[in-house]
Amino acid sequence: MQKPKVVILCGGKGTRLQEETEFKPKGLVAIGEKPILWHIMKTYAHFGFNDFILCLGYKGDLIKEFFLRYNTNTHDFNLNLKKRTIEIYDNNIEDWNITFANTGLTSETGSRLKQIEQYITEDNFFMTYGDCLCDVNIKDLLEYHLHHNKIGTVTAVRPVVKLGKLDLRDDTIIDFTKKPLTQETRIDGGFCVFRKDFFKYLKTDENCVLEDVPLKTLAKDREFMAYKHDGFWQCMDTISQTQYLNSLWENEEALWKVW
């Protein structure tokens, strides 16, 4: 089996985090000394998945610039001005392959995903959002996805904020409609796996919202499964959530740090 690529949606404006996102994309908001996007990529890379596709939009040029300058910004190096050569002194550099895909300034999530279809040559691919941290075992998630042989799998987590409820029958998602939360509710936590077939549910139209018709239809077709995860999960939608994640990192309590 070909190793799945990891698609990360990081093109939104992050309007609820305007204190940070006025001058940078949400994916570059820092947890500790590194952007949240880096933390997400470290999680996947820890489990051996290091081929990434970043769906860019709002201030995507800054994400490109961060990675283009990554080695010199994070490691000691020698610059020879005459020869125009750079030698990085630290060999402990992430072995990541990154495709930067411009998916539009105002495109919705489904449209962004559809636009990168050409880069997916494998039978399956990972997809997640660029603002959620989790300690889910990515290898176990993939194994579960391959075992049930359905088109899609989402990591179903316990809510810590008010988001959309997943209606489950055993592990099969039967409804993706937003409903009031209860203590037993599980929500879409991102960290998804899809068969390539899922692209037929999507449209390039910038108004195609992944969490609306595509996933609702997938659930209606009984092709959408939930991987239940009871460990750490936290999104970063507000400044208080950003501060919370930073406090966990600073106090060495960052439960998402599996590497």
Going along the chain from its start, the domains and CATH numbers come out as: 5-87+94-155+190-199+234-250 (3.90.550.10)
Looking at residue 173, its pLDDT comes to 74
- Sorted by sequence, the CB contacts under 8 Å of residue 69 that are 6+ apart come out as none
Looking at residue 183, its pLDDT comes to 52
Looking at residue 159, its pLDDT comes to 72
Angstrom CA distances, 37 to 13, 31, 167, stand at 14, 9, 29
**SS3 assignment, position 66:** helix
Predicted model pTM: 0.90
How many other C-beta atoms lie within 10 A of the C-beta of residue 137? 17
SS3 content of the chain, % helix, strand, coil (to 5): 30, 25, 40
Looking at residue 143, its pLDDT comes to 98
Angstrom CA distances, 115 to 28, 65, 82, 168, 200, stand at 22, 22, 42, 30, 12
- Average pLDDT, 10 consecutive residues per value, the chain (259 residues): 95 86 94 97 98 98 96 91 91 92 97 98 98 97 97 90 60 67 76 98 97 97 97 94 96 95
Looking at residue 162, its pLDDT comes to 47
The Cα–Cα gap between 153 and 135 comes to 17
Looking at residue 171, its pLDDT comes to 78
8 A C-beta contact, residue 78 and residue 86:
yes
Looking at residue 181, its pLDDT comes to 53
Angstrom CA distances, 74 to 37, 45, 64, 77, 208, stand at 15, 18, 15, 9, 37
